[in-house]
Structure 1
Amino acid sequence: MGHGIAASATMGRLRTAVRTLADIDLSPDELLTHLDDIVTHTDEEQDFDADDAIPGEIGATCLYAVYDPVSGTCSMARAGHLAPVLVLPDGSGRVVGLPTGPPLGLCSLPFEAVDLDIPDGSVLALFTDGLVTSREGDFDEDLSDLQRALAQPARSLDALCDSVLASVCTQPRTDDVALLLARTKRLSEDQVADWAVPPDPVAVATIRREVVDRLAAWHLEAAAFVAELAVSELVTHAIRYGAEPIRLRLIRERSLICEVSDGSSTSPHLRRARTFDEGGRGLFMIAQLARRWGTRYSMTGKTIGAEQQLDELIP
């Protein structure tokens, strides 16, 4: 809500907070809960003396979505924001049914996430209310116009954005307009490898060899050293400190992702081992060699993953 320096500064803080929370792989509903706490505490600390100063946090809305290209599912949650429009490959479109949730910083109520199976090649449209709210138009009619415009064929998403804005924004708008389009692309079975890991330290060597063989089949021998180290350390960590079931997954796309899941929610800690310590260096080595690493949690345990950027290794 609002315009000017206060609202702009607020958006900058919220964007930074969202990026920070997203980096630790929180689920959409949990991320919005933390973001709501940040906004609430910021409101309590700020003092707006100017008569025309509007606290930008009051009424701030957010729609957060995470798409999984392996399973083809998208998890979404919203805090007072308009629900997105989903356009299927056949051209049919609909507004995604999401629980509304209160705007950020108002009620501190829990948010609810929805998992949606999205067909490959669909288009997900996220937008601000300025796109479907004109001075004299009807909201439902404007939303229907948006759905029809999104269903029109276009050579690219950029071209579709241009045509949608030209078709929908025919009257002067009273608010800012933002439109974000994303086309879903599910990874093929050949881009994912999955293993069940026995809870036995002897299995680490066998799993490591199978990973090297799979990387050779993918023609990714240059990435084998770091991947083999990550697999060895993460699988050993899961066997030693985690719980069954333990699974290893490799994902090959623009980067190579190694993920190890287990049934324990115990959080791993990165520490710097002392000179004569016999252990404690595994996660530190992964953090140094991988592009990034992190942990995400689920209802059944946790997943620790490490990512390698392939274009840095392979011409």
Structure 2
Amino acid sequence: MTTRTDTFRFSEFGPPDVLRQESIELALPAAGEIQIRHLAIGVNYIDIYHRKGVFAAPLPLPSGLGVEGVGIVTALGDGVKTFSVGDRVAYVGGPPNGYSTHRNLPAARALPVPDGLDGETVAALVFKGLTVEYLIHRCAPVAKGDVVLFHAAAGGVGSIACQWLKHLGATVIGTVGSEEKARIAHANGCDHTIVYTKEDFQARVAEITDGKGVRIVYDSVGADTFAKSLDCLRPRGTLVSFGEASGPIAALNIASLGAKGSLFVTRPSIAHYTADRREYEAAASNLFGAIEAGIVKAPAISRYRLSDAVRVHEDLEARRTQGSIILIP
């Protein structure tokens, strides 16, 4: 028996209004898949990248959207032994079809949600939390005493990162867009905030570090910050460029990395840090443990109805949002 789902899809790349809400028949889950009824759906900036087709290999069209959610298992495909109907699961990745009331999902992408965790909290945290987990624990691991710069420190990823970095014993410098966001970042553990609309963040980092620079810069902003981020690093420091919210980054002269202090630059993707099932489960265990221990708390959660997906994208691109955004079916 098939299930009807309300879902958002798009047939061309472009602005938010290319998204169209449809009601369609959802087939039974294929072998190795589960079917879930969404309780909450996470919204992430990668959804905008998918909608615009900015990746080197854009999604084939027409396409759904959304790579994160929490739901109840309603059906099992052949061969699925690790889950049962009625289980509550979260997921990150898989085919982008998160903006829907129901969806089919590879069972390999599903994670059991601990009983003590609220579903909306998990939906607000799991993608961003797993992003922070791989960034600070596995991509460029942070140790007690490290000084790091985190751009967009009051955003969904930044808010989680500041909390976790502070727990690890790092000194955290964060850039933000307003005094209000500076207060949010400070409340989440940011030691020094720089309002980039009023201050030169490179000059302030030099001042804060007595000219030594930071060991790691985590930069999801891209074009507007990349060059100065390099100049904020101490010798043999690492720039982790994991997004480009302000636009594509200009070509890099790799020889300049030597001249600037034998620097390292990496462009990681969460897909490559969660592709192995064992690593994915270990990362989720680390994150869920941090949530249960109170190390990581959900930033302010903005709730929208699923039917308001177009407005969500407009608000996100206009930087009118704070913390994490979830859609409620």
> Common fold, TM-score beyond 0.5?
no
- Normalising by the smaller structure, the TM-score range is under 0.3
Bigger radius of gyration: 1
Point out the structure with the larger strand share. 2
TM-score, with structure 2 as normaliser: 0.22
TM-score, with structure 1 as normaliser: 0.23
